Amino acid sequence: MFSTSFTWNDFLFLLQGAWVTLLLTLGAMAIGTVAGVLCGLLRALLPRATLPLSWLLDVFRSVPLLIQFVLFNSLKSIAGLNWSAFTVACIVLGIYATAFCTEIVRSGVLAVPFNLRRASRSLGLTYLQDLRYIVLPIATRVAFPGWLNLVLSVMKDTALVMWIGIVELLRASQTIVTRIQEPLLVLCIAGLIYYVMSLVVARLGARLETRWQEND
């Protein structure tokens, strides 16, 4: 018969790791979304003036995340900052997410037809009111699927933080593998947990999208 030394406690250990993965994703996406909306708006509305910003963000988009983690971690030590590994992870992932979110928001804003903005301004709305009541809501609907993809990809990228010593889902599973020597089983379970977490996020997103689409 099938027998395993994988225990209930091991499973709880994996769930703890999954919790850390979720928290990291949440932290990174909070930073990435707020900063990304800001940078994306600036990029769309002031394309010339913010060109240097796009060069900077390109760096974070193109350098592999692992290198960013290790570099930032050493920078932290050199600068003598007393930040936890979790904070470092959130910041690095947050900046990484910012770089992608900026592009997502920028293309969302640029997708709002100029004629609509002209129509709203003709009603007497100010520049900022037009942004707030016309441009942002429409851009949100356009940008949302891309943003959701970003959440899913950041969730998987959190696995890299084990290199700076955080026990998230993948690291937790490796610890167990080392002990019980059943890599296939443990990795399948870890994979399943990733899958379920992604599924929940994707489903929530899909529900929001259908609600918007019913209106079109």
Of 134, 164, 166, 172, the residue at the interface with other proteins (CB under 8 A) is: 134
Closer to other proteins by Cβ: residue 120 or 149: 120
Closer to other proteins by Cβ: residue 125 or 201: 125
Closer to other proteins by Cβ: residue 9 or 213: 213
Does the footprint of other proteins cover residue 119 (CB under 8 A)?
yes
Does the footprint of other proteins cover residue 181 (CB under 8 A)?
no
Contact map string, positions 141 to 170, toward other proteins, x by CB under 8 A: x-----------------------------
Of 55, 62, 124, 184, the residue at the interface with other proteins (CB under 8 A) is: 124
Does the footprint of other proteins cover residue 122 (CB under 8 A)?
yes
Does the footprint of other proteins cover residue 16 (CB under 8 A)?
no
Q: What is the 3-state secondary structure (H, E, C) of the chain?
A: CCCCCCCHHHHHHHHHHHHHHHHHHHHHHHHHHHHHHHHHHHHHHCCCCCHHHHHHHHHHHHCCHHHHHHHHHHHHHHHCCCCCHHHHHHHHHHHHHHHHHHHHHHHHHHCCCHHHHHHHHHCCCCHHHHHHHHHHHHHHHHHHHHHHHHHHHHHHHHHHHHHHCCCCHHHHHHHHHHHHCCHHHHHHHHHHHHHHHHHHHHHHHHHHHHHHHCCC
Does the footprint of other proteins cover residue 179 (CB under 8 A)?
no
Interface positions with other proteins (CB under 8 A): 113, 115-116, 118-126, 129, 133-134, 137-138, 141, 212, 215-216
